[in-house]
Amino acid sequence: MKARLKSAGISSIDIERAANKLVVRIATARPGIIIGRKGAEIDKLKQEVSKRTKREVHMTSWKCTGRNWNAQLVAESIALQLEKRVAFRRAMRKAVDSALRFGCKASRCAWPGA
C-alpha cells in the first residue's frame, strides 16, 4: 500500500483487526491524494484491501501536521531528492535547516560536516 501511495507522503499506517472487521488509519502529509476526487481513490483502496483480506474494511486518513519534523516524511523527501540526483550534502543540509526552522528542537546527522 505504501509503494502505491508513494507521492502522498505517508508517515504511518495503523491497522486494527477485529473478528471480521479491519480498521486502517493512514497519517499522511497529503490526504487529498489518498482520498481522490469524491473519494474514488480511497474506495478503490478499500476494495483492494477487502479483496485481499476477505474482511470488511474501514479506512480513514488524516493530515499529519508538522511535516517538516516528522522523521519518516523527512527521510522520504531526502530519498526522493537523491533519486533525482541532487547532491546529498545539499539535500541533508536543506532537510536539517527546514526541520530546525519549523520548530524541531534538535537534529542529528550521521555524516561529517553537517
Instruction: Read off the pLDDT of residues 58-95 as tens digits, 9 standing for 90 and up.
Output: 998 888 876 667 888 888 888 889 999 999 999 988 88
Residue 114 has pLDDT above 80, yes or no: no
> How many other C-beta atoms lie within 10 A of the C-beta of residue 97?
12
pLDDT attached to residue 112: 47
Beta bridge partners of 57: 22
- Rounded to whole angstroms, the Cα distance separating 46 from 41 reads 9
Amino acid at 102: F
Closest to 24 measured CA to CA, from 10, 36, 9, 40: 10
- Rounded to whole angstroms, the Cα distance separating 45 from 57 reads 10
Query: Higher confidence at residue 106 or residue 7?
Result: 7
pLDDT attached to residue 56: 94
- Rounded to whole angstroms, the Cα distance separating 3 from 86 reads 22
* Residue owning grid cell 526522493: 80
- Rounded to whole angstroms, the Cα distance separating 24 from 44 reads 14
Contact 61, 26 (CB under 8 A): yes
Task: Please report the domains of the chain, with CATH numbers, ordered by start residue.
Answer: 6-63 (3.30.300.20), 66-114 (no CATH)
